[in-house]
Structure 1
């Protein structure tokens, strides 16, 4: 028997029993180096209608807050057209003093986005430090960090925010002050979740091997542990942004918000002081409330989608639904 090239010996059933023969095989052609799979095709299977809807809502609100202030006039400009409804000159009407509501909405959206971003970053950093670093160290440090997290968890968040904001002088109450207050009262729950996840990852073999090989703690955390926690961190960051915008709106509505900045909460505060609801001036308080609702809904949809992507049970259920729909389409085509 002669083998030619990369032949494979196989057994063929003959009259006198199995006979060995060779079957030529062709090796698979390698993928050209310049034809790598596009990144959008890798992300496409994770795109769901809920995620797409959330991203569209977030993009719309972000464009309003980032680009809108460059396209509108001065939000503090006073005119003689007081408390007028939407018109060609003022698309969202005016306030009692003739200020354009659309201009105020654009600048207020920017302020609320700044608050949400600052609180999201600060709360995520605090929760990662107390949750991940404390769980990695273990021992007394972990116990102290857990005790501190539990203390912040049992204290009611909104009353604590109101008390802290009330003690801060009004002239010193800026965006950064409100962001720090909100971040200090919103990191504990996320830290508990990250601690539990870190304890699970720390017990894995590759983390133990890195520690035994003499790797520095910051490298073990940054290279071995942190990549496994990125989806959880992303979900907690989104939740922190939602809570920050709603918390700031509540503080501003109570008169405890930033004194030198315009946010969606301050718009609602001035609309309430101007008796917008009794006077029927819906264009004054409905737009800021609608922006808060749409942005919160968009972030919630993204948060749910992240949970669906990282949760194996939800991911398998989504895959099963997709396969069932594909099988149903094939069956309908075959029936035709």
Structure 2
């Protein structure tokens, strides 16, 4: 009995061991892909909004740190230059008592930044503890903590801050920060509770619970990393609210008169009728600093949103490339091809509703 040679060749091919893949070529291709996508691990820092916001916040933080050393005058020192406009001697003019406004602005930056960040850190910590705990434990604990959050949520925050600060014997920067933190944590706690409720029944959390992991280990290692972007966004919003609350309290005269901040400058400008006197240099610089700081915090918040949302991230990070291809990037929408100019009366260059990138 003879066996066909073709069958023998096929059997040899099947029995022959397969060659191992070229690991060196695979590693080289992987390295090449990584080189083509530089800074992949720093996607947040590639966002133009986030970079602009961080630069603004970093500038004010630097001024807050070195302010007492670079201020040309004592902010409370009086002189004979009464209500003078900006000059080489006084870059931002003087007050009705001859005080240098530029020095007041620099020294006041520290109070604003300290209160904003201290209140933001404390309020965020309270919100994380209450919100995550309520969402994870459930039952009576969830109902109790949720009721506490609802109480603070429906109370008007600013009037409550004014009442508490007005009853205290001495109101300093840290006191105002603590009062703002105690009254401003409820909204963040509610958001974190809702997100924790959706995460505690996920497969990876159930697997960690089935494997015998402790509750604190599940919360810190499984749930908290998925809440990082929400916590960061809440922190930025709390800092913004704390800064505006501090300036509002100082503007209406609640606070220590010896602690300079931008609200204190506006308070004295308003009480001395700077607008009627035409002393624009007394209130415009402080107002611009408040607006610039708020813009920096808002840009960071926008950057966080675009970083955590894949649709916003892809459009925002590739906006320049899309424009080069003639596509108009629209954050939150599908990029649409830009219309091409065409001679009058011709049908060329028109885009229809269905044209997408």
TM range (shorter): 0.7 to 0.9
Q: CA deviation at 1:168?
A: 1.4
Match of 1:324 among 322, 333, 336: 322
Q: CA deviation at 1:134?
A: 1.6
- The unaligned stretches of length 5 or more in structure 2 are 1-8, 328-336, 338-357
SS at match of 2:25: coil
Structure 1 residues 229, 258: closer, same or farther in 2, change over 3 A?
farther
Match of 2:287 among 289, 293, 296: 289
- Residue deviations 1:95-140 (CA, integer Å, cap 9, x gap): 1111111111011011000000111001101110110012111111
Using the alignment, how far apart are the partners of 1:71 and 1:5 within structure 2? 76
What corresponds to 1:14 in structure 2? none
What corresponds to 1:11 in structure 2? none
Using the alignment, how far apart are the partners of 1:304 and 1:58 within structure 2? 14
Using the alignment, how far apart are the partners of 1:51 and 1:45 within structure 2? 7
SS at match of 1:86: coil
Q: CA deviation at 1:280?
A: 1.2
Using the alignment, how far apart are the partners of 1:123 and 1:197 within structure 2? 18
What corresponds to 1:232 in structure 2? 230
Equivalences for residues 17-166 of structure 1 within 5 A: 27-28=24-25, 30=27, 40=39, 42-44=41-43, 47-72=46-71, 73-166=73-166
Structure 1 residues 109, 231: closer, same or farther in 2, change over 3 A?
same
Structure 1 residues 259, 219: closer, same or farther in 2, change over 3 A?
farther
Q: CA deviation at 1:275?
A: 1.9
Using the alignment, how far apart are the partners of 2:174 and 2:317 within structure 1? 44
Structure 1 residues 7, 220: closer, same or farther in 2, change over 3 A?
closer
Using the alignment, how far apart are the partners of 1:209 and 1:222 within structure 2? 15
Using the alignment, how far apart are the partners of 1:323 and 1:82 within structure 2? 56
Using the alignment, how far apart are the partners of 1:239 and 1:39 within structure 2? 31
Q: Which moved more, 1:210-219 or 1:77-86?
A: 210-219
Using the alignment, how far apart are the partners of 2:89 and 2:237 within structure 1? 38
C-alpha contact 2:47 2:316 (8 A) present in aligned 1: no
TM-score of the two chains, using structure 1 as the length reference:
0.84
- Residue deviations 1:202-252 (CA, integer Å, cap 9, x gap): 111221222233322222111111111111111110110101000111111
- Residue deviations 1:257-289 (CA, integer Å, cap 9, x gap): 344422111111112122211111111111111
C-alpha contact 1:174 1:260 (8 A) present in aligned 2: no
SS at match of 2:240: helix
- The unaligned stretches of length 5 or more in structure 1 are 9-23, 332-336
What corresponds to 1:264 in structure 2? 262
Using the alignment, how far apart are the partners of 1:26 and 1:209 within structure 2? 34
RMSD between aligned alpha carbons?
A: 3.1
How many positions carry a matched residue from both structures? 314
Using the alignment, how far apart are the partners of 1:319 and 1:85 within structure 2? 45
Q: Which moved more, 1:43-52 or 1:239-248?
A: 43-52
Using the alignment, how far apart are the partners of 2:186 and 2:60 within structure 1? 28
Q: CA deviation at 1:48?
A: 2.7
Structure 1 residues 327, 118: closer, same or farther in 2, change over 3 A?
same
